[in-house]
Structures are given as structure tokens and as C-alpha cells.
Structure 1
Amino acid sequence: MPVPAQESWLDAIAASRHDLDRSSTAARVADLLREQITRGRLVPGERLPEEDLCRAVRVSRNTMREAFRLLVQERLLVHEFNRGVFVRRVTADGLADLYRVRRILECEGVRCAASAPAGALARVEAAVADGERAAAAGDWAGVGTADIRFHQALAALVGSPRVDEMTRHLLAEMRLVFHEMGSPREFHEPYLARNRRICDLLAAGAAEDAERALRSYLDDAEAQLTAAYDTGA
């Protein structure tokens, strides 16, 4: 006698219940590692010491390897046979694709600014202000982190949890690209005023002008980073 469809999928879920705690813990560990990448503390080519990490977060090797697997899928880490797990270096082709997707997500966010969720525009302003404070303190790594938060806040104007998740992963990968630039100050400083300009345009309700400013910004940043890749090739 055939097994009813509902029982079949319930049985499948029941058979996987022992993986739930491990998977949820692995996702949390992946979040911790992704945040270190987003903050610029883990750099391309850096090896991740599995045993030390397991001790630091008090998880098993299987859980840590699952976290690594999640971040490999997000293109943030790479596994090298018999060598270990390393922070990935984004290729020039990957850079072009990152900007292709960023234009879709961030420009759509700007277009949605008038109907953005409560507090969303305030988060744009807060990220800009954080960048300005970090620059005043000479903390150029902090400026880079604030810049990532600014662009996350632009995409968040869409009001979609899926877009937020995509952007979070995308911009963690983007932070790896920043390391291609020799001087964080030389790269980030010119964009502080442009971040402020976009923020002010959004606050004034000038979404079309803000989108034009953002597209020009992204074009210039991509060209600058592409030149750095070409020089370093």
C-alpha cells in the first residue's frame, strides 16, 4: 500500500532531526566568520585554522566544516585539497559580476526609497555618519566597514528580507575586493562625500537624482578597482 504523501515528507523531516542542532549552529558560526570578513579582519589568502576555531567557538569539527561549506557556497572561502580552507580572492571576472548585481539591488533600493520601511532611511544616514566619524579618527578600515553598511542600507530600502540576505552575502564578498587597493584611505576618502550626497538626495525625496548619482558612483568604483586588478595581474 502506498505511503500517503504527507507521511512521506514528515518521515523525511523526522529522519533529519538529528542534523537540526548542528546545522543551526553551523549557520551561526558562518555568520560569525562572515562578519569578520565584512569588517575586513579576514583577508584574501588567509588560512582558517580549523582546530583553533573549534576551540574558540566550542563546536565540533563537523560543525565547523559545515560552516566552512556554507561560506564556500557564498564564494567567501575556498577549500584547497591537503592544504586547508582559505579566504577567497575575488577574480577580475568576479568583480564585474559583483557590480552587475549591486546595480540591480542598490538602484532598486533607491527607487523604492519613498515607500521604504520605517527607519530604513535613518539607517542610510547612520552609516554615512559612521563613515565620517571613522575618517575623522583616521580609522580607514572603519570607513570601509561603514561603506559596506551604507550600501547594505541602500538595498534594504526595498524592504525585502531576501534582498537583505543577498546583499549581506554580496557585500561580504565585496569587502574582499577592497583589499586589492594598496591604501584604504586613497580608495575610500573620495567616496565619503558621494555617500553623503546620495543620502541627502534621498532625504530630500530626489530619488531619480540619487539613482543617477549612485550609478555614476558604482561605475567609477568598478573602474578604479578593475585598474587595480590589472596593475596587480
Structure 2
Amino acid sequence: MAEQAASLADDRGLLGRTSTAERVSDVLRTRIAEGFFPPGTRLSEEDIGGALGVSRNTLREAFRLLVHERLLVHELNRGVFVRVLTVEDVEDIHRTRALVECAVVRGLGAPPYALDAMAAAVAEGERASADGDWKAVGTADIHFHRELVALAGSERTDEVMRSIFAELRLAFHVVDDPRRLHEPYLTRNRQLLHTLREGNTAEAEQLLAVYLRDSLERMAEVYRRRVGDDGAAPG
């Protein structure tokens, strides 16, 4: 933990001269998303506060914000830990994704749609695949779906889904074979993009619903094998 926290000093400049809990939470959120602090990791106030040069009160407020986002969990007399999702969490994340993402596609007006960012995410995933970087493929997949949600043009929806996608990243960090999880969605993302370019939102919604159902089945299988139903910390 001390070694991990020490490297946070590189992020100290991101806080600026008017450091706030929100900026600290942004730094920690990014590090958690990157897997720098894996699920189950205990976060040391002393080490992280010292690395970032912030007060204990500021750090505790940042922790509180991330607990509210369900990325951290506070355990009485034990401290603050990066959350380990349960199978039920994974199921709920995918239910929420299906409700929101399918509704976004269903609610699109007449084409053409602003699909450049989604196309860039597809290309990002394909480049990462060619490099054999399957963790980066998973990141590109989240970018693809984040840009799909952005088609709704709703800041509130974007905000809700930011938290959902951040939780999904926690699930990705438990996966022991990221290629097996992510590789099938390279083709499916391109297919979904093509269908939207054609302006066929009914077909795109159907593809997306099946896509998310299959994603849930894969993730639930991984979780039952790796962490069990109750979300015990991965070994």
C-alpha cells in the first residue's frame, strides 16, 4: 500500500493550488478505474494524504464521495476499502445498463447521428486488440458505451451512467481472462455502430439487448467462479 500511495505523488500537480475533495476523488476514481487500487484494497489515509499533500479532512470527504458512488466501502474499525462487487451487484449494473442504453437507442430521432466518438472507441479497441492489450480493450468498450449514452444529449443521464461504468470497471478487475471476456464485443461493437449508421434503431436496440444479456451471463459466470455470490475479496 505504501508503494502504491507513494506513486500518487505524480498526481499531486493535478490538484492545483486550490485542492478540493472533488479533485482528490477524481484522482482516486481514475486510479481505481485503472486497477491501481484493486478491489479489496485498504486505502491508507496517512499514505494517500501524504502523497497528494491534502489534509485528512479533505481526504475523508473524498472517500465519502466515492463511498456514495459505490466505489469504496467503509468498514467500522477497519477502514476504507475498494469495493468488491457481488454477483447481485453485477446483475443490477447490467439491468440498469439495459434500461438506459436501450432507451437511448429507442429514443433517437431521425438519422444521421453523431457517431464519430463511438467509431473512435471501436478503432481504439481494435488497436488494443492488435497489441494484445485486453485491459485496454475493456477500457475502449466502456468508452464505446459511454458515447452511446451521450447520444441522448442528457447531462443527468451521463452522470448516472458515469457511476455505473465506474462500477463496471471494478468488475473487470476481477476477471482472470480478459481476452475471453472482451474479444467477442469488438465485432459486436462494430456491428452495432454499422446498424446505427444505417439508421435502423429497432435492430440496433435488439442487438444491444442481446449484447447486454450475454455480457451479464459472462460476468456472472466469472464472479461465481472468482469471488462467489457474496463478494469475498479476490485471491
Q: The TM-score by the shorter chain falls in which range?
A: 0.7 to 0.9
**Aligned-partner Cα distance in 1 for 2:110–2:23:** 32
CA RMSD of aligned residues (A): 2.1
Paired with 1:75 and 1:210, the residues of 2 have a C-alpha distance of 30
**Against the structure 1 CA distance between its residues 39 and 146, is the aligned structure 2 distance closer, same or farther, given a 3 Å change threshold?**
farther
Could you tell me which amino acid in structure 1 is paired with residue 20 of structure 2? T
Other structure's SS at 1:86 match: strand
Residue identity matched to 2:120:
A
Are residues 1:226 and 2:204 paired?
no
User: CA offsets, 1:121-171, max 9 Å, x none?
Assistant: 211111111111111111111111111111111111111000001111111
For residues 66-77 of structure 1, the aligned pairs below 5 Å read 66-77=61-72
Q: Percent identity?
A: 52
Q: How does 1:135-214 map to 2 (within 5 A)?
A: 135-214=129-208
2:112 and 2:197 in contact (8 A); partners too? no
Structure of higher CA gyration radius = 1
State the distance in 2 between where 1:78 and 1:212 align. 36
**2:89 is matched with which residue?**
94
Hey, what's the Cα distance between the residues in 2 that align with 1:115 and 1:51?
Answer: 54
Work out the CA distance in 2 between the residues paired with 1:35 and 1:188: 21
**Number of residue equivalences:** 210
- Once the two structures are TM-superposed, the CA of residue 97 in structure 1 deviates from its matched residue by 1.0
Distance across 2 between alignment mates of 1:148 and 1:59: 31
C-alpha displacement at 1:85, in angstroms? Answer: 1.2
Is 1:130 aligned to residue 161 of structure 2? Answer: no
Partner Cα separation in structure 2 for residue 75 and residue 157 of structure 1 = 25
TM-score normalised by length of structure 2 = 0.83
- The runs of 5 or more residues in structure 2 that have no matched partner are 1-17, 229-235
Q: Which residue of 2 aligns with 1:81?
A: 76
Would the aligned equivalents of 1:131 and 1:142 in 2 still touch at CA under 8 Å?
A: yes
TM-aligned CA deviation for residue 115 of structure 1: 6.1
- Post-superposition offset of 1:116: 8.9
Aligned mates of 1:115, 1:34 — CA distance in 2: 36
Residue 5 of structure 2 corresponds to none
Paired amino acid for 1:27: E
Q: 2:145 is matched by which residue type in structure 1?
A: H
Query: Greater share of helix residues, 1 or 2?
Result: 1
TM-score, length-scaled by structure 1:
0.83
Unpaired runs of 5+ residues, structure 1, are 1-22
1:38-49 matched pairs, under 5 angstroms: 38-49=33-44
Deviation, structure 1 residue 117: 11
Contact 2:111 2:199 (8 Å CA) reproduced: no
**Deviation (angstroms), 1:58:** 2.1
Contact 2:104 2:149 in 1 (8 A): yes
Q: 1:48 to 1:115 in 2, by over 3 A?
A: farther
**What SS does structure 1 have at the residue aligned with 2:20?**
helix
SS in 2 for 1:43: coil
